[in-house]
Amino acid sequence: MAKVTIDGIDIEVPDGTTILQAARMIGPEVAPPTMCYHSKLKTSGGYCRTCLVEVTKGSEKDPRPMPKLVASCRTNVMDGMVVTNGLSEKVQDARAGVVEFLLLNHPLDCPICDQAGECHLQDLSYEHGNYNTRTDFERRTFEKIDIGDKIQLHMTRCILCYRCVKVAEQITDGRVHGVLNRGDLSEISTYIKEAIDNDFSGNMIDVCPVGALTDKTFRFKSRVWFTKPVDAHRDCDKCSGKVVLWYKGDDVLRVTGRKDQWGEVEEFICNTCRFDKKQTSDWTIEGVREISRHSVISANKYKRLVRPKRLTINDIKALPE
């Protein structure tokens, strides 16, 4: 076991725990934000640099501070380690920089992006970014490629978190897409314009932190905050069958995997559950899902959706001048 202090709060964790995992055990108040790390995907993390933290004391044995900020998702704790996250000005400054870099070429198309409302980049920029942009260069765009009738790829929105590549590598049986080219020209692609088609490809949508991979069957159907998430399950021979149904009225507009409070998928689901089972009768309903992640949809308004009362002449008279 190792004792670690994060933003002044102590916790004891098993050896081999990362700083990020330890911080999450303490709670969201000290947990660094993440974009590329995903708890269910091996070797994820380290790329986006949003979870950088300052290690002010390396360990009991070697108390020297670490010379650079470290990616908390890929750095293991040591006994006696002292970490600062929210309390470190250096971290906040670097994080603001990372947000700016991530937004530098990201299109400002949130109003027409299906991910809006559950987008990690929106949350991140709201919490750690600046209001102004300091660039007036044309943003990077990519040629559109078609990867099939179920998944929409918008490369211009991609922040290169590599999560979808790891999904293809780790839970599907034939990766046909990857990261091509180099540097700021890197792009997610199949190179030969082939459809990504296998039983679990839909999970790429769920792990995408931005609107780069979205559900074609849900495209432009509704803003997510107007839909009502409901936990449901079914007997499935391919996956756990545990999903969230997103309702508008009586219609299931889309089906997704269940995400934890960090916005990371708990159990991956198959494409049959995701794309082919959009009738309430396909499912056993468990109940309304509480979205605990801090974002637009977490207001959970659907739970107390009351039609606004029509104003009467008396109400108007009562208004203060």
Partner 1 sequence: MSETETIKFSAETEALMQNIIGRYPEGRHKSALLPLLHIAQADSNGWLSVPVMNRVAEILNIKPIEVYEVASFYSMFHLEPVGNCLIEVCRTSSCWLRGANDIVAHIEKRLGIKDGETSADGKFTLRTVECLGSCGTAPMLQIGEQYHENLTMEKVDQLLEENRNTTKHSTYLDHTTFRTV
Partner 2 sequence: MQRKLLLEHIDVPGIQSYDVYRSKGGYASVEKALKTMTPDAVVEEVKKSGLRGRGGAGFPTGMKWSFLAKPEGVPRYLVCNADESEPGTFKDRYLMQHIPHLLIEGMITSSFALGAKTSYIYVRGEFFYIIRILEKAIAEAYKNGWLGKNIQGSGFDHDIYVHPGAGAYICGEETALLESLEGKRGNPRIKPPFPAVKGLYDCPTVVNNVETISAVVPIVNNGGEAYAAIGIGKSTGNKLISASGHIKKPGVYEIEMGLTVEEFIYSDALCGGILNDKKLKAVVAGGSSVPILPAELILKTASGEPRLMSYESLADGGFATGTMLGSGGFIVMDESASIVHNLYTFTRFYHHESCGQCSPCREGTSWMEKILHKILEGHGTISDIDLLWDIQRKIEGNTICPLGDAAAWPVASAIRHFRPEFEAYVNNPKQQLEVSYYDHCRNLASAEV
Q: By CB under 8 A, is residue 135 in contact with partner 2?
A: yes
Which residue, 70 or 288, has its beta carbon nearer to partner 2?
70
Q: Helices then strands (H, E): number in the chain?
A: 7, 13
Structural contact between residues 202 and 209, judged by C-beta atoms closer than 8 angstroms = no
Beta-carbon contacts of 96 under 8 Å, excluding residues fewer than 6 positions away, are 128, 129, 130
Secondary-structure percent of the chain, ordered helix, strand, coil, rounded to 5? 25, 20, 55
Give the footprint of partner 1 on residues 152-181 (CB under 8 A): 174-181
- Contact flag: residue 43 with partner 1 (CB under 8 A): no
Q: What is the smallest separation between the CB atom of 127 and partner 1, expressed in angstroms?
A: 33
> Counting contacts by CB under 8 A, is residue 219 touching partner 2?
no
Task: Using CB atoms within 10 Å of the CB of residue 201, give its burial: 0 to 12 exposed, 13 to 18 middle, 19+ buried.
Answer: buried
Contact predicate 200/171, CB 8 Å = yes
Largest CA distance in the chain: 75
Residue 8 interacting partner from partner 1, partner 2, none (CB closer than 5 to 8 Å by kind): none
Residue 230 is given by DSSP the state: E
177 binds, among partner 2, partner 1, none (CB under 5 to 8 A by kind): partner 1
Work out which of 72, 84, 190, 271 binds partner 1, going by CB under 8 A: 190
How far, in Å, are 57, 147, 163, 256, 310 from residue 265 at the CA level?
A: 33, 22, 11, 9, 41
| Partners of 186 in the β-ladder | none
- Nearer to partner 2 among residue 37 and residue 246 (C-beta): 37
Residue (of 195, 212, 97) closest to 153 by Cα position: 212
d(CA 81, CA 55): 7
List the one residue from 61, 134, 303, 309 that touches partner 2 (CB under 8 A).
134
> E-strand spans in 121-249?
151-153, 178-180, 187-189, 213-215, 228-233, 242-248
CB of 38 to partner 2, least distance (A): 15
Q: Which of 42, 182, 303, 317 binds partner 1 (CB under 8 A)?
A: 182
**Minimum CB separation from partner 2 for residue 160, in Å?**
7
Question: Which among 194, 214, 195 has a CA at the least distance from the CA of 204?
Answer: 214
Does 210 bind partner 2 (CB under 8 A)? Our answer is: no
Per-residue contact string for residues 89-108; x = within reach of partner 2 by CB under 8 A: ----xx--xx-xxx-xx---
User: Does the footprint of partner 1 cover residue 195 (CB under 8 A)?
Assistant: no
Comparing CB distances to partner 1, the nearer of 54 and 187 is: 187
* Residue 315: CB minimum distance to partner 2, A: 51
**Shortest distance in whole angstroms from residue 26 CB to partner 2:** 24
> Which amino acid is present at 18?
T
CB nearer to partner 1: give 111 or 174.
Answer: 174
Q: Least CB distance from residue 94 to partner 2, whole Å?
A: 5
CB-wise, 194 or 251, nearer to partner 1? 194
Contact footprint for partner 2 (CB under 8 A): 46-49, 52, 67-69, 71, 74, 93-94, 97-98, 100-102, 104-105, 134-135, 137, 159-160, 179, 181-186
Contact positions toward partner 1, by CB under 8 A? Answer: 174-182, 190-194
